[in-house]
Amino acid sequence: MSLPVKKFVLLSLLFLLLSGVHAQTLFTVDGTGVGKDEFLKAYSKNNARQKATEKSYRDYLDLYIRYKLKVRAAYDARLDTLPAQRTELQNFRGQVAETYLKDESSQDRLVKEVFERGQKDIRLAHILIPLPKNPTVTDTLRAAEKAAAAYMALKKGKKFKEVALQYSEDPSVKTNGGDVGYITVFTLPYELESLAYSLPAGHFSKPYRTRGGYHIFYNAGERKALGRIKVAQILLSFPPGATGSVQDLVRHKADSIYALLRAGGDFAALARASSGDNLTYQTGGELPEFGIGRYDSTFEATAFSLDKDGAISEPLASPYGYHILKRIARKPFPRQYDEATAAQLKQQVLNDPRIEVSRKALLSRIEQQAEFHRAEFSELDLWAFTDSAMRNTGLSSFRGMNYSTVLFSFTRQSYTLKQWLDYTRSVRGQRPGGPQADKDLFDRWIERMAQDYYRSHLEDYNQDFAFQLTEFKEGNLLFEIMQRRIWDKASTDSAGLRNYYEAHKDKYWWDASSDALLFTCKNATIAETLKARLVAHPVSAWRQMTDSGATSIQADSGRYELAQIPNPGKLELNPLAYTPFTTNSADNSVSFAYILNVYHDRSPRNFRDARGFVINDYQNWLEDQWIADLKKKYPVKVEDKVVAELPK
């Protein structure tokens, strides 16, 4: 077994050994307990196909104890202080920690919510009372009073359209009476989507404030979700300032193209020749896949009314011209919440602003677990101090505040006003106006520091991460100490290997064997070509012929037991003959051999022929001697009563 392979095996085994938590003590190593639950989790992962018995538990327990002894020896040898060990651990920590800096439960809730909302489309009506970008108190009061008046009118039974026409300041209200058409999940910003989906059909909402203004929604009806659709279009566009007669000419041209399509005309070719959509005409008119709420409601209704792939609509009038649509594919919204659906929707959630909800949930959990404490101070005083510092006015203290003032803290770390100023300078050259801007920046700083702190102390708060980190650390330590104590010595101790061979030479025998050349080729064609060349030339030239094949041919020579030689029919092997081709099912490579000599009788292996076996056995012998010494140094006590209680 090569050393890299050994390291992989040890790391894999160690992962199995470390999983679990300590509970009832199963055994101790020099007084340090190892829990029953930890052992059971490791055993079940490493023996999944084996029925649990007293013997299987005892066999695995011996391996587990040996592992614990080796790791203990590595720690006592201070191998964990080696620079290479620390660097590898730190790199691994950085790679893995990010996967834990998310709130899985809130993400799962968002995904399930998307699935549930996505089952229906809502026909939405809307009243908007907007606010300017930086509203004054007067602006806010005016908008709030107008929204309240609209709401009271609705409560008194006035029709939503009438109220919208009277109060809404949405420019489109004059043409749509507040009816914005159907919306579905991902159509609106998340907070407004949530407002819409909170309303039963036929109900309106209370005024809801966002940064953009006050909104009142009305659920005018619901339907089963239409899903998403992909269409191509031919747009016969109106020229700027087109008169009625010009528009009629465009309509006649659209009718003519529609007639050609009905007669079997090529949609893509006509789109390339006639469509005025500069973004799509070169691709046959194909639009990106879309769902409800992306385009004009009439355009969407026409697209979704096409009953099958390839169906073509009659010319559809719009302010831009006449559209002829062809359905390419329809994708219904998933109806079954399974693993594939969850994975698909999760990608959409992760790429949508609604993931902010999960980010805030993570921040809340971090603040709770890391014992976040915000100091008592005046925010206005802090903003004033910050403003002075940013302008370099030389202010070093202000109303009891100075650079050392603690603004907030976690369990093991406090953050000062100086650190806040350093952060402020790093993200902007000067302070933007207004307390709200300062507060938003301060909150972002708290969040950033919270994540940095949590990342640095993650093992204190996340048991899975702590186990994974310990697994990697102790896996590297185990490899390091095995390399030093066993593998290097077994490979380089020539005298020890020779002595071991002499003491155990009766173990090393050749069964029936052969001197042979073994060839493995990438495929049968290469194998046939190689064999033809070997037959046509002296066999002694085999190395030159195989080297020319680069990676497509592998070849070696030596003495092999007959079972190691490719011989699919188990035919009798004769000197100076080739074996039949053997196809390897894993990769379709082809192997064959050229037989030089055959030894039918069993015979002893000399030291050179036995060396690989001797090294392996010598390693095991060295390890057994070392384990015996470790058990004397670190006494092991097994709780037999607990072992007997392990579930069968």
Find all residues with CB under 8 Å of 636, minimum gap 6, and list them.
27, 28, 29, 65, 69
Instruction: Specify the CATH architecture of the domain 1-113+465-508+607-648.
Output: Orthogonal Bundle (1.10)
**CATH 3.10.50.40, the chain: domain bounds:** 120-224, 228-331
**CATH 1.10.4030, the chain: domain bounds:** 1-113+465-508+607-648
Helix (H, G, I), strand (E, B) or coil at 202: coil
Helices 54-76/463-482 angle, 10° precision: 80
Mean pLDDT of 147-157: 97
Number of neighbours of residue 211 by Cβ within 10 angstroms: 7
Give the pLDDT confidence score for residue 12 in this predicted structure. Answer: 44
Give the pLDDT confidence score for residue 309 in this predicted structure. Answer: 96
Mean pLDDT of 260-283: 92
pLDDT tens-place string over residues 416-447: 999 999 998 888 655 555 667 888 899 999 99
Give the pLDDT confidence score for residue 137 in this predicted structure. Answer: 93
Distinct helix (H) and strand (E) counts, the chain: 25, 23
Give the pLDDT confidence score for residue 398 in this predicted structure. Answer: 77
Range among 56-60, 150-154, 318-322 rated most confident: 150-154
Mean pLDDT of the chain: 90
CA 258 to the chain's CA centroid:
48
pLDDT at 226 over 60: yes
pLDDT tens-place string over residues 553-610: 999 999 999 999 999 888 889 999 999 999 998 899 999 999 999 999 999 999 999 9
CA–CA distance, 597 with 117 (Å, rounded to integer): 76
Find all residues with CB under 8 Å of 304, minimum gap 6, and list them.
226, 229, 330
Question: E-strand spans in 447-604?
Answer: 509-510, 513-521, 553-561, 577-578, 582-583, 590-599, 603-604
pLDDT tens-place string over residues 110-137: 999 999 999 999 999 999 999 998 899 9
Confidence band for 142, pLDDT divided at 50, 70 and 90: very high
Give the pLDDT confidence score for residue 400 in this predicted structure. Answer: 82
Report the CATH number of the 228-331 domain.
Answer: 3.10.50.40
Mean pLDDT of 25-42: 89
CA–CA distance, 211 with 239 (Å, rounded to integer): 38
pLDDT at 366 over 50: yes
pLDDT tens-place string over residues 590-604: 999 999 999 999 999
Give the pLDDT confidence score for residue 330 in this predicted structure. Answer: 95
Yes or no: say if 187 and 291 are a contact pair by the CB < 8 Å rule: yes
pLDDT tens-place string over residues 48-84: 778 899 999 999 999 999 999 999 999 999 999 999 9
Give the pLDDT confidence score for residue 237 in this predicted structure. Answer: 92
pLDDT tens-place string over residues 231-255: 999 999 999 888 989 999 999 999 9
Q: If residue 122 lies in a helix (H) or strand (E), which one and from where to where? A: strand 120-130
Q: Residue 237: phi, psi to the nearest 5?
A: -85, 150
Give the pLDDT confidence score for residue 22 in this predicted structure. Answer: 42
Q: Which residue has the higher pLDDT, 11 or 485?
A: 485
The CATH label, of 3.90.930.60, 3.90.79.10, 3.30.2130.10, 3.10.50.40, for the domain at 120-224 is 3.10.50.40
